[in-house]
Each structure stands twice: as C-alpha cells, then as structure tokens.
C-alpha cells in the first residue's frame, strides 16, 4: 500500500506544481496581453528626454466602441508639479493613468510628454520615463530582492537596499528569516497592502522616472501606514512631474492643482482652497469625507473607552 501511495503522493505534488505554474503563466500572459495591445508605430522614435511636462489635449476614450469613458479631457502638468485627480468611483480617474502609461491609445485628442505625442514614441522609451505605483501591486513569485530590483534590473545590491530604506521597508525585510531572499507572491510570504505598496515605491525610487503616477489604494490602509506611505511618496515626488489618483481628499490637499472628474469629464479644477471657496462638487466631497472621518474617530473612541 505504501509503495502505491508514494507515487500517488508524488503525482499529486507534480499536479499541484503544474497547476501553480499554469496559474503563473496565465498571469504573465495577461500582463503581456495588456501591454501587447499597443504596438510601436512603424518608424517610432525614442522619447527625447526633456522637461517632462505632461499635456492631455482634447482626449476622448472608449474601452469598447459602444461606450465612451472620457470626454474631451484637457489638462497640463507643468514640469516637476503634482496634479491630483479626484471623483466618484467609475468617473474615469484610473483610465487617465492607464492612458498616460499607454496601456491603451486615445480614441481622439493626444497626450504629450515634453511636447512629444506618446503614440509616436517607442513603448520602451515611454515606460522608462514613466513610473507607476498602482493600486494593487503585482508581486512575482520570487524573492523580495527580485521584486524590488525589477524597477531597474541593472541596479547594484547597495542601490536596491537604499531604495528599500527610502521606502521604509528595509527594516521589515531584515526582520524576516531569509531577509532579502524571502520568497513572496502567491506561493511565498503574503505581504499586506501597505507592504506591497512600499515594494512598489521602492521599485519607483530605483527606477527614478521623470514622471510618476500614483494610484492610491481604494481600500483604506490604517492611518499610520497611510501617513507613512504618503510621506515617502512626497519625497519621491519632489521635482518630478506627478499624477496622483486620490480617493481620500486629505492626502492631496497640497497638490499644485486638483482635477475633479465626473462621468468622464473634468467638472472643476483648482487648488484645494480655490475649490473649497467655489462651494461646488469638491467642497461637497470634502465636507462628506470630513464627516465620515469624525464618525470613524468617534467609533474608535467608543471602542477604546469600553
């Protein structure tokens, strides 16, 4: 019986491994498929590094031909400035980020970086100039070192460790039994939402892109982690052209300009003070979020006093 069960155990093991590998492959193909939708145009040239100013000019966009998502979106991010985008769920905020990274081409209008239409430059040169810290970072089934170094594979070990220190994740990694060689991802150590975002920030620090896109996580991190992550991001964003997609208005009140999106259009724009003074949609959202925060804090007080 034992003789029979051993090979069966072994077969079970092989089956599980193949299943995992297929799942990994599937994910990889999905990732490739996402960026493969867009091909370099014949004769595409490299993006020439410039001041890294970003311009959206009359951008319309549809994922599917029967449903338009963005309507005539125009805005400028002057070189080195930070623009934040806010608006209700589904209003098209993350779509702006995806278009700037050129996961898709605009339906009409154009997006310029340093005066160059991003549809006419090579994907490789564009992806080198633009770094993205997404809502939910995909971790590869590999070491945490590999996952950070992925930001710039030719970086030295010291540079990788320095990026991890700046993203405030070095001490955490050092506390793990296998330190930087700890396997993470679906088959390894599961990281929390905040830890994953720090890995993404470390990647971005290592990459040193001229333009940074930060898509704030929808699920609220605890407020200490959130504050720490915001502080780290602010440091990375200094002197970089930055597009921040925000869900919590408190995190972007000091942006150079805030765009308010509704149903695929920009309905208001200005600084936090200007938008509050205008008493429009932004002022309403702000009021609502302040009330929610009060209720949340009251709830915490009630629990701790029990």
Which positions from 210 through 229 interact with ligand ATP, judged by CB under 6 A? 218
DSSP bridge pairs for 242: 82, 212
CB of 204 to ligand ATP, least distance (A): 20
Q: Which of residues 177-206 bind ligand ATP (CB under 6 A)?
A: none
Candidates 19-27, 83-91, 158-166, 275-283: pick the segment binding ligand ATP (CB under 6 A).
83-91
Q: CB of residue 109 vs ligand ATP: minimum separation in angstroms?
A: 16
* Burial label, 228 (beta-carbon count in 10 A; 0-12, 13-18, 19+): middle
Contact (Cβ atoms closer than 8 angstroms) between residue 117 and residue 42: no
Distance CA 293, CA 289 (A): 6
* In the complex, minimum distance from the CB of residue 70 to ligand ATP, in angstroms, rounded to a whole number: 8
**Sole binder of ligand ATP in the list 93, 170, 203, 272 (CB under 6 A):** 93
- Closest separation in Å from C-beta 262 to ligand ATP: 10
Report the residue number, 219 or 305, with the smaller CB distance to ligand ATP: 219
Q: Does 95 bind ligand ATP (CB under 6 A)?
A: yes
Please report how close the Cβ of residue 27 comes to ligand ATP at its closest, in angstroms: 16
**CA 71 vs CA 47, 67, 247: distances in Å:** 26, 11, 21
Stretch of 2-10, 50-58, 75-83, 92-100 contacting ligand ATP, by CB under 6 A: 92-100
Token digits of residue 122: 């090579």
Query: Three-state DSSP class for 15?
Result: helix
Minimum distance from residue 287 beta carbon to ligand ATP (Å): 19
Q: What residues between 59 and 78 interact with ligand ATP by CB under 6 A?
A: 63-64, 69
Query: Are 204 and 234 contacting, i.e. CB atoms less than 8 angstroms apart?
Result: no
Please, are residues 34 and 27 in contact by the beta-carbon 8 Å criterion? no
- Nearest CA among 218, 259, 289, 216 for reference residue 70: 259
CB of 71 to ligand ATP, least distance (A): 12
Least distance from C-beta 88 to ligand ATP, angstroms?
7
Tokens of 49: 């590094």
Q: Tell me: does residue 251 bind ligand ATP (CB under 6 A).
A: no
Q: 46 in helix, strand or coil?
A: coil
User: Which residue, 58 or 90, is less far from ligand ATP as judged by CB?
Assistant: 90
Return the range that interacts with ligand ATP (CB under 6 A); candidates 84-92, 118-126, 188-196, 201-209: 84-92
Does the CA dihedral 68-125-160-205 come out positive or negative?
A: negative
**Size, binding site for ligand ATP by CB under 6 A:** 12
* Site membership for ligand ATP, residue 92 (CB under 6 A): yes
CB of 104 to ligand ATP, least distance (A): 8
Q: Kindly write down the DSSP assignment for every residue of 58-122, as one continuous string.
A: EEEEEEETTEEEEEEEEEEE-TT-EEEEEESTTSSHHHHHHHHTTSS--SEEEEEETTEEGGGB-
Stretch that binds ligand ATP, among 6-14, 50-58, 91-99, 296-304 (CB under 6 A): 91-99
- How far is it, in rounded angstroms, from Cα 22 to Cα 182? 22
Stretch that binds ligand ATP, among 43-51, 93-101, 145-153, 252-260 (CB under 6 A): 93-101
Task: List residues near ligand ATP by CB under 6 A.
Answer: 63-64, 69, 87, 89-95, 218
């Amino acid at each position: 019986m034992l003789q029979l069960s051993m090979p069966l155990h072994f077969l079970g093991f092989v089956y599980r491994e193949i299943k995992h590998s297929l799942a990994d492959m599937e994910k990889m193909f999905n990732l490739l498929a996402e960026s493969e939708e867009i091909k370099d145009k014949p004769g595409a040239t490299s993006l020439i590094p410039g001041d890294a100013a970003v311009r959206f000019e009359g951008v319309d966009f549809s994922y599917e031909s029967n449903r338009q998502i963005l309507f005539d979106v125009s805005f400028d991010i002057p070189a080195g400035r930070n623009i934040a985008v806010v608006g209700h769920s589904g209003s098209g905020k993350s779509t702006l980020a995806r278009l700037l990274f050129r996961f898709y081409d605009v339906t009409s209008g154009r997006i310029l970086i340093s005066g160059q239409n991003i549809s006419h430059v090579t994907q490789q040169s564009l992806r080198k100039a633009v770094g993205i810290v997404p809502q939910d970072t995909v971790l590869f089934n590999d070491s945490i070192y590999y996952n950070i170094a992925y930001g710039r594979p030719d970086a030295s070990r010291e540079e990788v460790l320095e990026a991890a220190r700046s993203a405030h994740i070095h001490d955490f990694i050092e506390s793990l039994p296998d330190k930087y060689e700890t396997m993470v991802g679906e088959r390894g150590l599961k990281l929390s939402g905040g830890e994953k975002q720090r890995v993404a920030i470390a990647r971005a620090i290592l990459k040193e892109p001229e333009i940074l896109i930060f898509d704030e996580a929808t699920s609220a991190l605890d407020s200490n982690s959130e504050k720490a992550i915001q502080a780290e991001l602010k440091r990375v964003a200094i002197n970089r052209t930055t597009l921040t997609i925000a869900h919590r208005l408190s995190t972007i009140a000091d942006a150079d300009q805030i765009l308010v999106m509704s149903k695929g259009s920009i309905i208001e724009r200005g600084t936090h003070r200007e938008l509050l003074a205008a008493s429009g949609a932004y002022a309403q959202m702000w009021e609502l979020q302040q009330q929610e925060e009060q209720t949340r804090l009251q709830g915490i007080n009630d629990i701790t006093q029990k």
